[in-house]
Chains A and B, each alone.
Chain A
Amino acid sequence: MTAIDSSNTESTNAHVHDLGMPAGPDITTISGAIDASIAANGEKQTALKAKDLKTDQEVRWCPGCGDYVILNAVQSFLPSLGIAREDMVIVSGIGCSSRFPYYMNTYGMHSIHGRAPAIATGLAASRPDLSVWVVTGDGDALSIGGNHLIHTLRRNVNLTILLFNNRIYGLTKGQYSPTSEVGKVTKSTPMGSIDAPFNPVSLALGADATFVGRAMDSDRKGLTDVLRQAAEHQGTSLVEIYQNCNIFNDGAFELLKDPNTGPMWTIPLVHGEPLVFGPGGASCVVRDDFGGLRIAESNQVDASQIVVHDAHRDDPSYAFALSRLSTQDLRYSPMGVFRSVVKPTYDRMMADQLEDAAAQEPADLDALLAGSDSWTVQ
C-alpha cells in the first residue's frame, strides 16, 4: 500500500455496525438500510430560499453565458416546490451546461458525456422517493447521448430533463452541434455545416415523450412557468432551453429575444388559449389540408378556424405538428408546453411489479437455493 497522507486518517462518522452478529441481516428489511439512514436525521427541511441551494463552488461559466440566468431561475424557483434539498438529485453529462450540479446544494452527479439519462434512470427507478433532474446540452443529449434520451422518454421514467440548447459545442470550443443550422461556419465546418439539424422537441415527441416544453434562458417568467409544470409532471419531462453561448454562438436566439422581432416569431403556448401571436395578434395557427398546422394571418381566417392549444391531447401528432411550424432560423418558434399527458411511470410500474411478486410468494432464499430438484446425501 502506498503511503497515504497521515492527516487522512480520521474515521468517517458513519456508525460501524457489529459484524460479529451471527445471524446476518434481517432479510425482511430489504432497502431498510436506505430508509434507516434517511430517517436517522429527522424532520425534512422544505422551507428553502434560493441561497440555500447555492454551493461554495465558484461558478466557472464565461461571463455573460446564458447558463447563469438558467441557474438563477432554477435556484429561485425550486424552493417553491416544497422539496427538501437532500431529496433532489441533479445528474448531468459533459459540457459547459453539465457543470450545473456543482452549483446546486443538492445531491448531484456530473457523469460522462451523454449518459446522464441512463444514470438518472437507474436512480429514479430504484428511488421513486427522490426528485431527479437531468441537465444536459445539445451535444450531450442529442449527439453522443441521443440513444439514451429517446429511450428514457419512451419509458417515461420520473425525471425532469433540462436540455440547454446553445446550438454549439461550448466546452470543446465551438464545433457545430446536432442542432446547428445548415451552413453554420464553425472550426470544424469552415465551409459551412452540411448536417441537417435535429429539432429537439420533434425528436422528443417522436419518442412519445409525455411532457415536452421549450423556454428561453432570459425569459425568467416563461422559463419558471415551464419548469414548474415539468417538475410537477409524473414521468419524463423534457424542457428545451434556448441558451445563449456568448463566446461561440453569440446571438443565436436574438431573433426571438429582440423586443422588435421576438413577438413576431414567437408563438406562446397556453393551454386552452387560441394560438394567436405577433404584434396585435396579427398571426395565428390553423389546420392545413393535410392534417398538419400552418401559420395564417388572423384577419384572413374565421376565428373558429384558429387552433386552441390543447397540451393534453393523447395523440402526439398535434404537438409534433406544432413543433414543425418553426424553421431552422427560428421563425415561428412555439414557446411553452407542447405536450403534457398522463401515462403510467416506469418507476411506479417497476415498484408495482415488485410488490405484486412479493405478495404472490414470500422471498425465501433457502427455498430459492434448494430449487425443486434437490437430493439429500445421508
Chain B
Amino acid sequence: MTGTNPGISPAANGVAPGMHPAVDPAIDAAAHSSAPGGLVKSVVELDRVVIRLAGDSGDGMQLTGGRFTSETASFGNDLSTLPNFPAEIRAPTGTLPGVSSFQLHFADHDIMTPGDAPDVLVVMNPAALKANLMDLPGGGLLIADSDEFTPRNLAKVGYASNPLEDGSLEKWQLVSVPLTSMTTDALADSGLGKKEAERSKNMFTLGLLSWMYHRPTEGTIRFLERQFRRKPQIAAANIAAFRAGFNYGETTEAFAVSYEVKPAPMAPGKYRHISGNQALSYGLVAAGQRSGLPVFLGAYPITPASDILHELSKHKAFGVRTFQAEDEIAGIGAALGASFGGALGVTTTSGPGVALKAETIGLAVMTELPLLIVDVQRGGPSTGLPTKTEQSDLLQALYGRNGEAPVPVIAPRSPGDCFDATLEAARIALTYRTPVILLSDGYLANGAEPWSIPATDELPDLRTEFATEPNGPDGEFLPYLRDPETLARPWAVPGTAGLQHRIGGLEKADKTGNISYDPENHDFMTRTRQAKVDGIAASIPATEVDDPDGDARVAVIGWGSTYGPIGAACRRIRASGRSIAQVHLRHLNPLPADLGEILARYDRVVCPEMNLGQLAMVLRAKYLVDVHSHTQVRGLPFRAAELAAVFQDVIDGTTGTVATLDTGSDTPAQTGAAL
C-alpha cells in the first residue's frame, strides 16, 4: 500500500508463495552463489517475506522490528507491519503473557497486509516459541536463541523437554543459535557487565537478520548513535553487537543462504515509512498550518492513542499547544474552549475516553464549533484489550450521545492514510463548524508502511474565516444565522468588538441563539443540525468502486483498517478467475450520496468488520440491502486467506462456479489492476 499504482506482476522465482526457501542451498534450485568472507554462500531471490520476531516484553522486540522496518523501507521494499504486545509493561519474564512480537511483511511489489502467517519466526525464548509456533506454516524457517532454552525457562511454559533438541520441531527448518552468549562474547571487552551486555542480544539478532536479507545497516548505526547520545558506552556496545550479528551471518555455516527481496517499483518521489499515529499527528500539524489556526490538543493518556499526544507535544514550534488534562472530559472541554477562542481544538483518545467525552461532544454539536475527536479504537467493552485492535466503536461514534446529536465520522484506511483522513476531518470541522470523529484503530496506529511524502503546498487549503462584523438586519450580531450553502454558523472569536454573544448547551433560537423552549423552534433546530451534517455528503467525491473485471455480482464493503486485508483477499479472488467489487468507505457519516445506488447494483453485498456487524446494521437500516456480515473480534486484523474463502463462498453461492482458490499470496493477479 504505497499510495502508488505500480500494477506489477512479480517474477516467478521457483519459491512457492508463503514458503520460505531452505537455508541449506543444496536443496534450493534458485540459489546462486557468492563468496563473502571466504565461505561459499548463496543468494536466493524472493518476491516477499513475512518475518515475525517474538520475545519477552523486555527483549526489545518492538525496537528491533522498528529498526528492521526502517532498514527495509530505506531499501525500497513495500512493507506492512503488525506489532503485537501485551498490555502489561513487564509481565513476569519468560511467561506466555509477557510475549511481545513484531511482524513485518516486505516485498518487491505492492502489498496490502502484514501477512497472514510468518515465513520466518525468530524466538528469543521458550515462551515466544510456544505462543507463536502455531502460526508458522510447516517448512517455515525457525530461528531460536538456544541459550534461553534452559530447564527453568522451559518449565515456566510447561515444556517437559527441550523442543530444540527432542525432535518435536522436525516439521520446520530449525536453526538454533546461541544468540545471548554470542552477544556477551562479542561484548567481552566492552566493559559492560554480563547482564547489561545480554541486553544487546536484540541488536545481535537484528545484525544477523540484516545480513540474511541484505538490509542496509548505516541507518541503524546512526540511529543507535543518536539514541544513546548521552551513553556512548551503551551506543558502542549495541553497535558492536549489531555488527557481530551481521558478521556472524556472513561467516557461520549455520546460514549458508542469504535472501534478496528487490525494491518494489514505486512512483518516483520521496518516501519514508510512517505509522498511523505518526501520520495522524503530522496531519494535525499540517491542518494547523493549512488553516492558519493554532492547534490545541487536550488529551488524557490512553493506549493506543497516547503516542499522538507525545508526538504533538514535540511540535510547539508550529504553534501547537498540548494539554495533558486531568481526565478525558477535561481534555475535550479544554479543546472546545480553545475552539471557542479560535483555535483548531483537538482531543485524542480511545473507546473508553470517547464514552467520557460524549456529553461534551453534544455540547459541541449544540454550540456548532469546530472540534476534532480522534478515537484510536481498541478491543472493548470496558478496558477490554488495550493493546489490540478492533472496530467496535463505530456505533458509539455515530450514535453514542443523548439527544439527536449528529456528528460526521471519518475513518482512515491505512497508516499513511491517517494523514489525509485527518486533513479531511479538519476540512469538515472547519467548513461546517461541527465536531468530527476520526476513527483510527490500534492496527493502523502502530502499523507502518512506506509513505509518499506529500508536497505541502498541494495539501488542501483549510483557511476559514472568522466573523468580523454584525450580520443582522438591524446591525446586531446573529450567531446562529447560517451560511445558506453549508448551514454553518458564523465563528466569532472573543476579542472581536461588537460580536459579543453567548452560546451553550440549552436549545438555541434560530438566528439569535437566545435560549428557546419553543416547540417549533426545537423541531426546526434539531432538523437543521441534522441537515447540516447530511449536507456534507455534497462535498465528498463519488464513491470509488474497484471492479477491474467490470462484471462482479458480489461487492465487498468495508471501512477503516480492514482495507488492506479486504483488498488482498479481493486480489486472490480475482487471481482465481472470479470477479468481485470492492468499496471502501472513508465517510461513515454522512455516507456518500451515491452509496445506496451502488449497493443496489450487486446480487450480494459482503461486509467484513472487526466488530459484530455495526456497519452492516447501518447499511441494512439505511438502504434496505441484505448485507452479508462477516465479523471477527480477535484483537488482530483479518487474514486475507480467511476473507478470500468467505468471499469465494458468497460468490459461488451466487454464481454456482466451482473453482479452487489459490490462497497463496495477496499479490495482484496478472490480469487485475492493483488496488
Q: What is the interface of chain A, defined by CB distance below 8 A to chain B?
A: 1-2, 4-5, 8-17, 19, 21-27, 29-34, 37-38, 40-42, 44-45, 55, 57, 84-89, 91, 94, 101-102, 104-112, 115, 118-127, 129-130, 147-148, 151, 350, 353-354, 356-358, 360-363, 365-366, 368-371, 373-378
Residues in chain B near residue A33, CB distance under 8 A: 291-293, 342, 463-466
Q: Contacts A25-B291, A115-B360, A122-B333: A31 and B465 contacting too (C-beta < 8 A)?
A: no
B336 and A119 form a contact (CB under 8 A): yes
Q: Are A107 and B530 in contact (CB under 8 A)?
A: no
Q: Are A5 and B510 in contact (CB under 8 A)?
A: yes
Would you call B453 and A119 a contact (CB within 8 A)?
no
Closest 3 CB pairs of A and B: A122-B334, A110-B504, A122-B337
- Of B268, B292, B363, the residue contacting A377 (CB under 8 A) is B268
CB distance from B275 to the nearest CB of A (A): 11
B468 interface hit (Cβ, 8 Å): yes
Q: Which of B131-146 contact A (CB under 8 A)?
A: none
Q: Please judge, given known A-B contacts A109-B367, A370-B453, whether A30 and B502 are in contact too, CB under 8 Å.
A: no
A110-B505, A112-B360 in contact; A125/B321 too (CB < 8 A)? yes
Query: A15-B465, A123-B341 in contact; A2/B319 too (CB < 8 A)?
Result: no
Q: Name B267-315 residues within 8 Å CB distance of A.
A: 267-274, 282, 285-286, 288-294, 296, 298, 315
Contact with A along B326-351 (1 / 0, CB 8 A): 11011101111111111101000000
Indicate if B27 sits at the interface (CB-CB under 8 A).
no
Cβ-neighbour of A12 out of B334, B342, B345, B467 (below 8 A): B467
A8:B270 contact, CB within 8 angstroms:
no
B511 interfacial contact with A, CB 8 Å: yes
Given contacts A118-B329, A366-B456, contact A86 B484 (CB under 8 A): no
Given contacts A374-B453, A376-B270, contact A111 B363 (CB under 8 A): yes
Residues of B within 8 A of A42 (CB): 497
**Cβ-based interface call for B471 (8 A):** yes
How many chain B residues sit at the interface, stated as a range, is: 35 or more
Which chain B residues border A19 with CB–CB below 8 Å? 461, 463
A357 to B314, CA, bound (A): 9
User: Does B317 contact A109, Cβ atoms closer than 8 Å?
Assistant: no
The answer to whether B514 touches A373 (Cβ under 8 A) is no
Tell me, in angstroms, the Cα distance from A63 to B221 when the chains sit together.
76
Do A361 and B317 touch (CB < 8 A)? Answer: yes
Q: Is the CB of A118 within 8 A of B500?
A: no
Beyond A1-B534, A126-B338, 16 additional contacts (C-beta under 8 Å) are A2-B527, A22-B457, A31-B294, A55-B502, A119-B340, A122-B335, A126-B343, A127-B338, A130-B495, A147-B326, A151-B325, A365-B456, A368-B318, A369-B282, A374-B453, A377-B267
Distance of B513 from chain A, by nearest CB (Å): 10
B residues at A contact (CB < 8 Å): 70, 73-74, 76, 219, 263, 266-274, 282, 285-286, 288-294, 296, 298, 315-319, 321, 323, 325-327, 329-331, 333-343, 345, 359-360, 362-363, 367, 453-454, 456-457, 459, 461-471, 481-484, 487, 489-491, 493-506, 510-511, 514-515, 524, 527-528, 530-531, 534-535
**Which of A27, A45, A57, A105 has the largest number of chain B CB atoms within 10 A?**
A27
Contact (Cβ within 8 A) A378 B268: yes
Given that A127-B342, A373-B70 are known contacts, is A13 also in contact with B470, CB under 8 Å in the complex? Answer: yes
State the CA gap A11–B268 with chains docked (Å). 45
Partner of A8, one of B463, B467, B484: B484
CB <8 Å contact, A89 and B510: no
Inter-chain contact A45/B510, CB cutoff 8 Å: no
Task: Give A38 Cβ to nearest chain B Cβ, in Å.
Answer: 4
Cβ-closest chain A residue relative to B327: A147
Q: Which residues on A sit within 8 Å (CB–CB) of B469?
A: 13-14, 40-41
Inside 8 A of A124's CB, which chain B residues have their CB?
337
Q: Which residues of A contact B336 (CB under 8 A)?
A: 119, 122
**B487, A24: Cβ atoms closer than 8 Å:** no
CA distance A374 to B70 in the complex (A): 9
A26 to B336, CA, bound (A): 25
**Cα distance A33–B465 when bound, in Å?**
8
B residues within 8 A CB of A125? Answer: 296, 321, 323, 334, 338
Contact among A4, A15, A366, A373 for B468, CB-based, below 8 A:
A15
Q: CA–CA, A42 to B468, complex, Å?
A: 11
Of the listed residues A55, A112, A119, the one surrounded by the most CB atoms of chain B closer than 10 A to its CB is A119
B624 to chain A: closest CB distance in Å?
Answer: 21
Chain B residues with CB under 8 A of A104? 502
User: Whose C-beta in chain A lies nearest to the C-beta of B469?
Assistant: A13
**Chain B: minimal CB distance from A371 (Å):** 5
Chain A residues, Cβ within 8 Å of B338: 122-123, 125-127
Please tell me if the beta carbons of B503 and A365 are within 8 angstroms of each other in the complex: no
- Complex contact B502–A375 (CB within 8 A): no
A371–B316 alpha-carbon span in the complex (Å): 16
A37 to B316, CA, bound (A): 23
Which residue of the partner chain, among A11, A106, A366, contacts B500 with CB atoms under 8 Å?
A: A106
Shortest CB-to-CB span from B542 to chain A, Å, is 18
Residues of A within 8 A of B456 (CB): 24, 365-366, 369
Could you list 22 examples of A-B contacts with CB < 8 Å? A2-B530, A11-B483, A24-B290, A25-B463, A30-B319, A34-B342, A38-B493, A38-B496, A89-B341, A107-B494, A107-B502, A110-B506, A111-B505, A122-B296, A122-B298, A122-B323, A122-B339, A126-B337, A126-B341, A151-B325, A373-B73, A374-B453
Given A41-B468, A86-B499, A151:B330 Cβ within 8 A: yes
In the complex, A201 Cα to B351 Cα: how many Å?
36
How close is B193's CB to chain A, nearest CB, in angstroms? Answer: 32
In the complex, residue of chain A having the shortest beta-carbon distance to the beta carbon of B314: A357
Indicate the member of B274, B334, B454, B464 with the most A CB atoms within 10 Å: B334
Chain A, Cβ-Cβ closest to B502: A108
In the complex, how many angstroms separate the beta carbon of A74 from the nearest chain B beta carbon? 15
Q: Which residue of B lies closest to A37 (CB)?
A: B466
CA distance A257 to B229 in the complex (A): 67
In the bound complex, residues from chain A placing their C-beta under 8 Å from that of B333 are 111, 115, 118-119, 121-122, 148
Pairwise interchain contact B326-A30, C-beta atoms closer than 8 A: no
| Most B Cβ at <10 Å: residue of A84, A85, A109, A124 | A109
With beta carbons under 8 angstroms apart, the residue of A26, A27, A86, A151 that contacts B496 is A86
In Å, the complex CA distance between A25 and B530 comes to 31
A115: which B residues are within 8 A, CB to CB? 329-330, 333, 359-360
A51 CA / B495 CA spacing, docked (Å):
20
Residue of B nearest to A86 (CB): B497
* Docked-complex contact B321 and A24, CB < 8 angstroms: no
Given contacts A91-B337, A119-B334, A122-B345, contact A358 B363 (CB under 8 A): no
Contact B334 A86 (CB under 8 A): no
Task: Give A285 Cβ to nearest chain B Cβ, in Å.
Answer: 35
Expressed in whole angstroms, the minimum distance between the Cβ of B595 and any Cβ of chain A is 16
Please give, as numbers and ranges, the residues of chain A lying within 8 Å of B341 by CB-CB distance. Answer: 34, 89, 122-123, 126-127, 130
Q: Give B479 Cβ to nearest chain A Cβ, in Å.
A: 10
Chain B: CB-nearest residue to A355: B316
Min CB distance B296 to A, Å, is 5
Q: Is the CB of B453 within 8 A of A369?
A: yes
Q: Determine how close the nearest CB of chain A comes to the CB of B419; give it in whole angstroms.
A: 8
Q: With the chains together, A12 CA to B511 CA distance in Å?
A: 11
- Does A14 lie within 8 Å of B466, measured CB to CB? yes
A12 with B270: CB separation less than 8 A: no
**Set A40, A118, A127, A369: member contacting B325, Cβ < 8 A:** A118
Find the A residue at minimum CB distance from B333: A118
Given known pairs A14-B467, A30-B288, the reply for A363 and B327 (CB within 8 Å) is no
Chain B residues lying within 8 Å of A45, measured Cβ to Cβ, are: 497
- Chain A residue numbers with a CB within 8 Å of B293 are 30-31, 33-34
Partner of B282, one of A32, A123, A368: A368
- A85 CA to B359 CA in the complex, in Å? 29
How far in angstroms is the closest Cβ of chain B from A34? 4
Given contacts A16-B465, A25-B290, contact A38 B495 (CB under 8 A): yes
* B500 engages A107 (CB within 8 Å): yes
Residues of A within 8 A of B316 (CB): 353-354, 356-358
